[in-house]
Amino acid sequence: DAGVIQSPRHEVTEMGQEVTLRCKPISGHDYLFWYRQTMMRGLELLIYFNNNVPIDDSGMPEDRFSAKMPNASFSTLKIQPSEPRDSAVYFCASSWGASGNTIYFGEGSWLTVV
């Protein structure tokens, strides 16, 4: 299996621009998670989906962030407009079934907003 695939791997953008991060989960997985990692705040869960439906978006920092999962093999995390404090590594992860199964992480998207 190819694992969780994220794109782009690196992005540098100017403040105010729209950023779209993409994720392809492992085939057959029904849970998809978006995490953010920063030095100050560590790893934070932003939002997660089950069977393409958003279940909990309480970690989304503000209205500038949105996430979609139009089908079982694709999800996006969008930031509009972006700000320098959004600079972080954004990880997508996926898993199958109920609690207790391994959650597999993608390689991450390194975002820098200048």
Partner 1 sequence: ELKVEQNPLFLSMQEGKNYTIYCNYSTTSDRLYWYRQDPGKSLESLFVLLSNGAVKQEGRLMASLDTKARLSTLHITAAVHDLSATYFCAVDQGAQKLVFGQGTRLTINP
List contacts with partner 1 (CB under 8 A): 31, 33, 42-45, 48, 50, 55-56, 91, 93, 95, 98-108
Whole-number minimum distance, CB 22 to partner 1, in Å? 16
Shortest Cβ distance from residue 95 to partner 1 (Å)?
A: 6
Name the residue type at position 50.
N
Contacts of residue 92, defined as CB under 8 A and 6 or more positions apart, other chains included, come to 4, 6, 21, 23, 25, 32, 33, 34, 35, 75, 77, 105, 106
Minimum distance, C-beta of residue 16 to partner 1, in the bound complex (Å): 27
